[in-house]
Structure 1
């Protein structure tokens, strides 16, 4: 997804590859955009703030 299409307050699906229990798996989570920055955007997921770069947004974030 292009950063220009993000809307503050909207929820997006994040798909990424991560290592879990020593194996590479594909993980999904819902993240809420709380701020758009010059270098990317800040999202809220559970109890964590995520700072994603423009590149990470293009690869991992999709609209529901």
Structure 2
């Protein structure tokens, strides 16, 4: 997703590859856009703030359909 299309306060689906129990798996989570920054954006996810770069946003963040 392009960073320019992010709307603060809106929820997005984040899909990414991660290592779990020694195996690479695809993980999904809902994240809420808090703020768009010059180098990416800040999201809220399950009691945690995430700072994603422009590259991470394009690869991992999708709008829910």
**Shorter chain as normaliser: what TM range?**
over 0.9
Q: What is the alpha-carbon root mean square deviation over aligned residues?
A: 0.3
Aligned residue for 1:14?
14
Tell me by how many angstroms 1:16 deviates. 0.1
What is the aligned partner in structure 1 of residue 38 from structure 2?
38
TM-score by length of 1: 0.99
* Over 4 Å off, 4+ runs: none
C-alpha separation between the residues in 2 aligned to 1:7 and 1:18?
26
Q: CA deviation at 1:17?
A: 0.1
Question: Which stretches in structure 1 are left out of the alignment for 5+ residues?
Answer: none
How many corresponding residue pairs?
64
Q: Which of the two has greater strand per residue?
A: 1
Q: Secondary structure at the match of 1:58?
A: helix
Residue 30 of structure 1, CA deviation = 0.1
